[in-house]
Amino acid sequence: MTRNTFRIFSLIIATSMLLAACGENAATPSEAETEPVGVAETDAAGVFTMVDPADYSGEIIVAGSSTVYPLAETMAIRFGEEGFAGNITIDSIGSGGGFERFCDTIESDISNASRPIKQEEIDLCRANGREPIEFRVGTDALAIVVSTENTFLTDVSLEQLALIFSTATLWSDVDPSWPAERIQRFSPGTDSGTFDYFVEVVLDEDETPLLNAENLQLSEDDNVLVQGVQGSPYAIGYFGFAYYQENASTLKALAINGITPNAETAESNEYPLSRPLFIYSDAAILQQKPQVAAFINFFLTYVNEEILDVGYFPASEASLTGAMQALLDAMP
């Protein structure tokens, strides 16, 4: 299984066994794809009802943020393990690439994003008959990382970070006590929500200095960035916290303005580079493809049981309740 694309393939025999166990009144796969009843409801006490993945089949197409990818992958695996009898495809192409597929080419059912959707993307969605619905699913702390072989960096300020990822050529250009060695920079590509967020917070929304910096490698694949930073004590990069955690034996996450990234500093926004994580869909999709609505229901119901193990931090109960209410409002 690669980090870039993930699929769940349910065996035909498993589907047959499921239908046999359910009896003659069980919905067939075609009926499950056209009958949205029960995907998002509340009981008499106003509590959201949980879906049974085994009641659904069909295709679910997801694309977008590389940061949200490992969380979406984990939820898709669990959805399949609990009985979903269809296929889930997840592509890691960056938040911007995900919104392009969702709003422009209309190729996906769900768009993963590590930033809020932009107004021009909303306008494009609407021009193509889609009204994006936002679901908050977690919180990330953007990790600024160096190799464990780096002996001179443990903490940087936002001002130093801006120099490191723009006009400075040598580390000593930023701080005279640092080595007179060339800075090797690794950054997500311009389609990435991580890139957008970094530019907004660190570079005052001006990407030009970063794109014009020397010794810069851009990639939409976070694993390429990880390997690049691992390869030199004078390299530096940034990506979602989960990718740092997976490689913590060879990478070192820097404190920013003296604040280290962790669950507490991310949730409180004390860590300067904490950010929300989202998935997006559309009411028409949710109504026409109940398996998509069921997956989002399942995602919101169980994400806080999985998110810490993936390497991110839980969204608040208020955020998840609001997301579930948005799902409920989208259903007839």
Task: Write the pLDDT tens digit of every residue in 76-122.
Answer: 999 999 999 999 999 999 999 999 999 999 999 999 999 999 999 99
Rg of the chain on CA atoms, in Å: 21
CA distance linking residue 71 with residue 299, whole number of Å: 10
Q: Domains along the chain?
A: 5-140+276-330 (3.40.190.10), 143-260 (3.40.190.10)
Tokens of 132: 């994006």
Place of tokens 């009411």: 283
CB 102 within 8 A of CB 280: yes
Residue 129 has pLDDT above 50, yes or no: yes
CB 65 within 8 A of CB 192: yes
Query: What angle (nearest 5°) sits at the alpha carbon of residue 71, between those of residues 263 and 118?
Result: 90
Bridge partners (DSSP) listed for residue 259: 256
- At residue 156, the pLDDT reads 98
Model pTM?
A: 0.73
- At residue 191, the pLDDT reads 87
Residue 54, number of CB atoms within 10 A of its CB: 17
Task: Write the pLDDT tens digit of every residue in 24-35.
Answer: 343 333 333 434
**Stretch among 133-137, 191-195, 254-258 having the lowest mean pLDDT:** 191-195
Task: Write the pLDDT tens digit of every residue in 148-168.
Answer: 999 999 999 999 999 999 999
- At residue 34, the pLDDT reads 37
Q: What is the mean pLDDT of the chain?
A: 87
Task: Write the pLDDT tens digit of every residue in 265-313.
Answer: 887 889 999 989 999 999 999 999 999 999 999 999 999 999 988 989 9
- At residue 38, the pLDDT reads 54
- At residue 151, the pLDDT reads 96
Query: Exposed, middle or buried: residue 214 (CB in 10 Å: 0-12, 13-18, 19+)?
Result: exposed
Helix axis angle, 290-310 to 69-81, nearest 10°: 120
- pLDDT cut 70: percent of the chain above it: 86
**Which residues neighbour 121 within 8 Å (Cβ) at sequence distance 6 or greater?**
99, 103, 132
Q: Which amino acid is at 289?
A: K
